[in-house]
Amino acid sequence: MATISLSRLGTNRMRSPAINDIKGVRVKVMNYSCIGEAHQAALLVPEPSLPAVFGVRPCAGVPRVADGKPEIRVVSTWPGGMIEARARGRFNPRMSEPPSESRFPQPDWVEHLQTAILLLDAEDRVRFLNPAAEDLLGVTASHAGVALSRELRASGLGELVARASREQRALSAQDIEWQDAGRVQWLDVQVTALPGDLTLLELHDAGLRRRAQEDRLRHDRQALSRRVVRQLAHEIRNPLAGLRGAAQLLGRDEPDPGRRELTDIICVEADRLHALVDEMLAPAGPARMVHENVHQPVDRLHALLSGEAGEGVSVERDYDPSLPELELDANQLFQALLNLGRNALQSGADRVVLRTRSARRVTWDGNLHRLAVAVEIADNGRGVPPELAESLFFPLVTGRDEGSGLGLAIAQEIVDRHGGRIEFESEPGDTVFRLLLPVPE
């Protein structure tokens, strides 16, 4: 019987699969190892011609003789991470030829992993890299078998790799500068020593982490500002009502038309402040989520903006009819879109376009969303003043003298309730506000 002996790394406890007969080779899992989060029990079969077991595709290693017995050692990635296995004993003599040592076979699902993976041998040669690593580092599969000693030394990773190998444990580092052919990439790296003088490098774009941190900080500051404004609005509302009531009583008993005109002015201004307070407090109620197509509030927006647009201003629609339905509060979402749409009309634009699209593999607040619905409001107006770009979604920030500075803050709050995001790109003559809503998986 051939025994696959796997040493465990990680925190999740998983049951060991039962003994299985596969083409005459009895395989028993003693324990198992994974780097990263494990999602299912797995058995790695050390023979490429054998069928996949427990959802993991086989990955072949290079046979050798150890202690007088044939041994095969393999490393394979799987949906939960990476597994190293060693099998000893009697093997099927009809084993297929092992693959080239320069590159491990690549299961189909590896191309869907977001984590960039590099597997190095003792000479720092690339034994395996997945498509995510190719994209992140700007290299191709032809790098398999190529030594990266120079790049590792230049980035400071060489010392980290050597230390992980020496201490036989996992190490990590942030903001590593990786240079290759004049291309600079900042990386967060996890380095793990594997049996067989192999080293696993898990690479992440440090820019994504930084942007996620900036997003969270900006989101927290905006939320704090909205809470302060909301509290101020509550404090203003009650005395404002008393002020208006007193002005009405004075005006009712005042025989002098000139004095009565002054009390009327007080009432008008009190009403204006009351409307501003209401805007500060909206939307105060919880979202009422229903299964709805996003085009329903966008169609309402098109009808309203078309009526408000001045002569010579066009409001156009450009829809993707294949978008899935979402759980949303159509009324609140319409209010958020209306605030964005009115800003577009007030920018001096003569063309506003309401566009819907699908967005794949988008990240915000540190979360990857495989699919999202994007609603874009584009205009050819003046654009967002550069000095307001960082604070645009804060309450009371506006680029117009007559603006309240609350519209975008309210829109942001509504979109937050939907688990979404608002982003924008702007230059004179080309401004796009994009509202992203995640599609549940």
Q: Residue 126 is part of a domain; what is its CATH number?
A: 3.30.450.20
77 shares its domain with 16: yes
pLDDT at residue 396 in the model: 67
114 in the same domain as 94:
no
Confidence check: pLDDT of 295 > 90: yes
| All residues at 6 or more sequence positions from 152 whose CB lies less than 8 Å from its CB, including other chains | 124, 158, 161
CA 72 – CA 56 distance, rounded (Å)? 18
* Same domain, yes or no: 308 and 379: yes
pLDDT at 350 over 80: yes
Question: What is the tally of helices (H) and strands (E) in the chain?
Answer: 8, 18
Please state, rounded to an integer, the average pLDDT across all residues of the chain.
Answer: 71
Residues 194 and 91 in one domain: no
The residue out of 67, 99, 131 marking a domain boundary is 99
Question: Does residue 398 carry a pLDDT above 80?
Answer: no
373 is a domain residue: yes
Residue range of the domain that includes 328: 286-441
Do 194 and 312 share a domain, yes or no? Answer: no
Asked whether the predicted pLDDT for residue 432 surpasses 80, the reply is yes
Given 156, 188, 206, which residue is the final one in a domain? 206
Asked which of 170, 186, 206 is the last residue of a domain, the reply is 206
In a domain, 268, yes or no: no
Q: What Rg value do the Cα atoms of the chain yield, rounded?
A: 31
Domain check: are 45 and 191 in the same one?
A: no
Would you give the DSSP letter of residue 125?
A: B
Asked if the structure places residue 130 within a domain, the reply is yes
pLDDT band at 144; cut points 50, 70, 90: low
pTM equals 0.50
**Residue 251's closest CA among 266, 271, 239?**
266
**Confidence band of 380 (pLDDT split at 50, 70, 90):** very high
Residue 143: pLDDT band with limits 50, 70, 90: low
Q: From CA 411, how far away is CA 393, in angstroms rounded?
A: 9
Contact 377, 344 (CB under 8 A): yes
Instruction: Judge whether 280 lies within some domain.
Output: no
Rounded Cα gap, residues 441 and 267, in angstroms: 53
pLDDT band at 357 (very low <50, low <70, confident <90, very high): very high
Res 83: pLDDT: 45
80 versus 425: the higher-pLDDT residue is 425
Q: Are residues 297 and 370 in the same domain?
A: yes
Least confident of 41-55, 93-107, 280-294, 316-330: 41-55
Within a domain: 31 = yes
Task: Look at residue 206 in the predicted model and tell me its pLDDT.
Answer: 80
Do the Cβ atoms of 124 and 149 come closer than 8 Å? Answer: yes
Cα torsion angle, 287, 291, 294, 295, sign: negative
Pick the closest to residue 363 from 217, 208, 133 (CA basis): 208
pLDDT above 90 for 293: yes
Shared-domain flag, residues 200 and 345? no
Whether residue 60 is contained in a domain is answered as yes
The pLDDT score that the predictor gives to residue 401 is 57
55 pLDDT more than 80: no
Give me the number of domains the chain comprises. 3
Pick 81 or 278 by higher pLDDT: 278
**73 and 195 both lie in a single domain:** no
Query: Is residue 142 located within the same domain as residue 95?
Result: no
Question: How far is it, in rounded angstroms, from Cα 417 to Cα 421?
Answer: 10
Q: Are 74 and 84 in contact (CB under 8 A)?
A: yes
- Work out the average pLDDT over 166-176: 85
* pLDDT score for 368: 77
Query: Does a structural domain hold residue 6?
Result: yes
With respect to residue 435, please indicate whether it lies within any of the assigned structural domains: yes
**Are 74 and 128 in the same domain?**
no
